[in-house]
Structure 1
Amino acid sequence: MPHERLLIPVVTINVDLLFFIPSVAMPGGSTNPISMTGFVEKVSGTVHKAKAHMHDNAHDLAQVTKQREKDKLNGPCVDVTIQFINASGLPKLDVVGASDPYFVAKLDDRVSMVSTVKTRSLTPEWNETWRVKNVPTTSELRVEILDKDTDTPHDDYIGKFKTTIEAGEKELDIQGPLFRKDRGTFRLTIETKPSTDPAEPKYLFDGPIRYSRHFSPLVGKLTNIDDARLYSTWKMYLVDVPVYFKDVYQHWNVNYKAAQSIFGSGPTSLAIRAGIHAGHKMLYARSTSNGFGIIQSAEDIMKLFEGGSLDPKGILGSDREDLSQEEQSKLEEVDALAAPTNESPFAHRIKPAVYTYIISAQDDSLRFSETGAAFFVDFASKHALHADCAEQVRYSGEFHLRPRAKDNSWCGWQDFNDSMPDTSVDWEVLIDNNSGTYSPDKAMLPTLKGLIDCNFPGLDVLALDREDEGLKKSVDACRDYALNYRGVKAEHLQPHQQEGHKSLLKPLGVVGKVAHLQRGGVEPS
């Protein structure tokens, strides 16, 4: 019987190669097992070689990319100043009203800046400056423009553009989705000069020192607090953090029970972290009502710590839509009844208060709020809340301001009285490492002092260990003055659940048991 040549069905291999492989049939119609075995071995060898080749190619590509990045960082660098001037011709994305645009700028995805939100404008004027040191000359600036949307959890995308850091004034087309170029134009100027200190870290933020104050009317409503400062958070972008702290970070304290409950690996810790993440997002949400500013002098710093208004009238952020219709109506009634002059008699005086802070490992920002802020009652750790559950920070603790006679004859709130104008005395910042969650190394306190000195111009800074007796006395004097002379309630000095308080976790959609677990409760079966 003559042999017939047969075609074995197509064999598809992971490397997308197709083989049509002939085989010789054995008498009786059977196939030669030896031939099939050899074929399988050949195919396996081909696949193995292909995979090895792909692995080598991927490795080579990674090596080339790594080498290019290294060459870029070792190449010539400049100090860059970018002035974001304005945009024009932005599209109207909202059905009602104009856009509330802001932008996010990045240099090589290594350092970024977020602008202020400009309300109801299709031709926003920013005139915001951004300085970055030691930027490779081959770097690229990428900018995204967004529309702050108070009705959805995500902001609307307007468009983007990119450009080199070559010096000059530029007017750039904003490219919308699907390469549409009808999204307006953006004007900016770039100045460059040779790096003043090439030994410093690359992409080093150099100012100006910007801050934002985040008001949350929903938090005020839920905590039943009428003092806007007690449901406010601040974020300040510090300069030279890598210069001072270099590669030193503070990891969460593995020996601290509250930290263990947050950063553990079990389902309870996962639920707690979900609650903290949601709380952080609410407290630091960007909205059209946020306060923004630049720190250039001691006077700018001092304004941050003035008492301010007692009621939240006029502070209407993106949180209001989270209230029920009934709650919104009640809040509007409160707004309508509030007198325009209803502010603390100490609104423009430095408030005797203690603040909880962290210095973020993610963006080198100083984040803080009053230690007595009522929203802390719902969370296991004040510092973890500010850090958004980051496993490490640059540093953390508490700080407060205190007055000092210009002739150094006295120092502290215990020797101060309100007949003295705030400008008639000098002011000190006492900052410490009082954080159980991260338990910062006290050996880094001199480094901390240097950094705060650099960023708080015109103020004297003392960095003290949390066990320092002088620090404890100063904190007590600050709180005593607040109680005895400024009308501050005792329950506002530490997190305290007000009558009528509602958990922040409820409107965030987090399970109700989380707060109970955070405070050390036993998880119900």
Structure 2
Amino acid sequence: MSSYSISSGLKDTLIETTFFALDDSQSNYDVIIQFHSAEDIPKMDVFGHADPYFIAKIDDQISFTSTILSNTATPKWDDEKWIVRNIPLNAILTVKIYDKDDAKLFDDYIGKFEVLNLINYHASITGHKVIGPFNRYHGFFHLSIQSMESSEETKHLPRYTFDGPCRYSRHDSFAVGCLTMLNPDCIYSTWKIQIRRISVFFKPQERQYWNRKYKVAQMIFGNCLLSLASQSTLKLAHKVLYGRTLKHNENGQLNNADDLWKFVFSDRTTKRIKPCIYTYVIDDNTWRFSETDAQVFADVASKHALLANASEYVRYAGQFHPRPKYGWNNCDDEWELVFDNESGTYAPNAYLLINLKNLLLFNFPGLNIVTYEYKDPKLKESVTELKHAIEKYKNSTTAIQHLVLTCPCVP
């Protein structure tokens, strides 16, 4: 089990990233962008209004994707905030608005606008004019920007560092759910969580590239036609698992460890924490994971390459599972997450497990985290106990759902 000190850990990682730091003579700025609303958004289909969402980018270096709002010409994104550290004085914000259409391969493009003076921004009363194809007027967009010079701490961060808030999205796939049968509802969920300052805790020179000694990884990333076919298949499967849709997505903001347990790891039916094993990757911007199941990945070469969208590297990867801190007989007490580095595809270094722990504790203070190297006997013991708990959980969940379905409604 690894030890942890959030203050010393953050201090060390900040010092070690000074190779990224900018010259003192350069101007460094932090911005807080609040996306508010839009109006007069045109409908792109024959019936109803648009289902708008937007993608914002700063200098094509960092991006923000909003939630999808259904059937409206006047969308309001009052909770959509974006904090970015260390951007240059001449940074440009570009916002593109789209109409989500689950029936189409590509979403309809509505229009875009740019903010050229991001640091000294003054909001227009009428908002920003959205210009669509053929230079047509496609509505107005409202936002506000707060900017400040980078502090002594943040000016040592890498350029364009995402610094919150942490937002999660869950996508439910019924097609994959029918294959896995992990629950009676036939739903298979994948999660994506935007987490802060990944490059501080996992520096770019420590990226974990694919394992050249692993035969499956050679098949995916090697220089042959089979590798290209494998990558295409993985990217298509990734799109299915993480595809944004109108009906089968949940989005929200995670402010602390309690939110993580409540909105991510609690069963939606029983409201209890679900015992299971998750496969995860940390990429350049997000923590992605899904429940591990042999059936769903039976025809997939690598679970981790699938989650990483066939990327040749990740920041970290492995598996994790929740467990009661004081044993499975005390499920009503504190819980903890147990992480390992078990990934044949990327073979992440065990010494970086402490960085993983520091990263998650920085984003979710108070979260109980235990880390094991994948060969550690304590990990095997924990997984064995977990499997027994999973069987008990399945039986109790089936009983609860049966009661819900058969119990007469009370007026």
TM-score over 0.5 for the pair:
yes
- The one-letter code of the counterpart of 2:30 is D
Establish whether residue 463 from structure 1 lines up as the match of residue 386 from structure 2: no
Name the structure 2 match of 1:186: 141
Give the 3 Å change call, closer, same or farther, for CA 458–71 of structure 1 in structure 2: closer
TM-score when scaled to structure 1?
0.67
- The one-letter code of the counterpart of 1:375 is V
Q: How does 1:195-214 map to 2 (within 5 A)?
A: 195-196=150-151, 197-214=154-171
TM superposition shift of 1:237: 0.8
What CA deviation, in whole Å up to 9, does each residue of 1:400-456 have, x standing for no partner? 11212xxxxxx232x335xx3xxxx22212111011110001111111111111123
What CA deviation, in whole Å up to 9, does each residue of 1:451-477 have, x standing for no partner? 111123321212221111212211221
TM superposition shift of 1:373: 6.7
User: What is the aligned counterpart of 1:371 among 292, 295, 318?
Assistant: 292
Q: How does 1:344-383 map to 2 (within 5 A)?
A: 347-361=270-284, 364-372=285-293, 374-383=295-304
Q: How does 1:477-496 map to 2 (within 5 A)?
A: 477-487=385-395
Following the alignment from structure 1 to structure 2, what is the Cα–Cα distance between the partners of residues 266 and 455?
40
- The one-letter code of the counterpart of 1:255 is K
The secondary structure found in structure 2 opposite 1:202 is coil
Task: Determine if contact 1:231/1:375 at 8 Å carries over to the other structure.
Answer: no
Name the structure 2 match of 1:137: 89
Give the 3 Å change call, closer, same or farther, for CA 74–359 of structure 1 in structure 2: farther
Name the structure 2 match of 1:125: 76
Give the 3 Å change call, closer, same or farther, for CA 126–229 of structure 1 in structure 2: farther
Establish whether residue 271 from structure 1 lines up as the match of residue 229 from structure 2: yes
Name the structure 2 match of 1:220: 177
Name the structure 1 match of 2:311: 390
Name the structure 2 match of 1:505: none
Name the structure 1 match of 2:267: 307
Task: Determine if contact 1:211/1:292 at 8 Å carries over to the other structure.
Answer: yes
Name the structure 2 match of 1:172: 128
Task: Determine if contact 2:173/2:187 at 8 Å carries over to the other structure.
Answer: no
The secondary structure found in structure 1 opposite 2:57 is strand
Task: Determine if contact 2:193/2:287 at 8 Å carries over to the other structure.
Answer: yes
Gaps of 5+ in 2: 1-20, 398-411
Task: Determine if contact 1:104/1:115 at 8 Å carries over to the other structure.
Answer: yes
Name the structure 1 match of 2:5: none
User: What is the aligned counterpart of 1:91 among 28, 37, 42?
Assistant: 42
Give the 3 Å change call, closer, same or farther, for CA 189–387 of structure 1 in structure 2: same
Considering fraction of residues, name the structure with more helix: 1
Following the alignment from structure 1 to structure 2, what is the Cα–Cα distance between the partners of residues 360 and 95?
39
Name the structure 1 match of 2:405: none
Name the structure 2 match of 1:254: 212
Following the alignment from structure 2 to structure 1, what is the Cα–Cα distance between the partners of residues 83 and 343?
32
Gaps of 5+ in 1: 1-69, 310-346, 405-410, 490-525
User: What is the aligned counterpart of 1:295 among 234, 251, 254?
Assistant: 254
Name the structure 1 match of 2:404: none
TM-score when scaled to structure 2?
0.85
Q: How does 1:306-345 map to 2 (within 5 A)?
A: 306-309=266-269
- The one-letter code of the counterpart of 1:360 is D
Task: Determine if contact 1:230/1:372 at 8 Å carries over to the other structure.
Answer: no
- The one-letter code of the counterpart of 1:76 is S
Q: What RMSD over aligned residues (CA atoms) do the two structures have, in Å?
A: 2.1
Following the alignment from structure 2 to structure 1, what is the Cα–Cα distance between the partners of residues 179 and 82?
37
Give the length in aligned residue pairs.
Answer: 367
TM superposition shift of 1:226: 4.9
How much identity, in percent, do the aligned residues show?
43
Establish whether residue 109 from structure 1 lines up as the match of residue 17 from structure 2: no
Following the alignment from structure 2 to structure 1, what is the Cα–Cα distance between the partners of residues 72 and 25?
42
- The one-letter code of the counterpart of 2:258 is E
Task: Determine if contact 2:177/2:186 at 8 Å carries over to the other structure.
Answer: no
For CA contacts below 8 A with separation 6 or more, give which structure has more relative contact order: 2
What CA deviation, in whole Å up to 9, does each residue of 1:158-191 have, x standing for no partner? 00000121234341000111222x2000000000
- The one-letter code of the counterpart of 2:123 is E
TM superposition shift of 1:266: 2.0
Task: Determine if contact 1:261/1:268 at 8 Å carries over to the other structure.
Answer: yes
TM superposition shift of 1:223: 4.9
Give the 3 Å change call, closer, same or farther, for CA 373–298 of structure 1 in structure 2: farther
Name the structure 2 match of 1:49: none
The secondary structure found in structure 1 opposite 2:71 is coil
The secondary structure found in structure 2 opposite 1:183 is strand
Task: Determine if contact 1:400/1:431 at 8 Å carries over to the other structure.
Answer: yes
Following the alignment from structure 1 to structure 2, what is the Cα–Cα distance between the partners of residues 130 and 217?
32
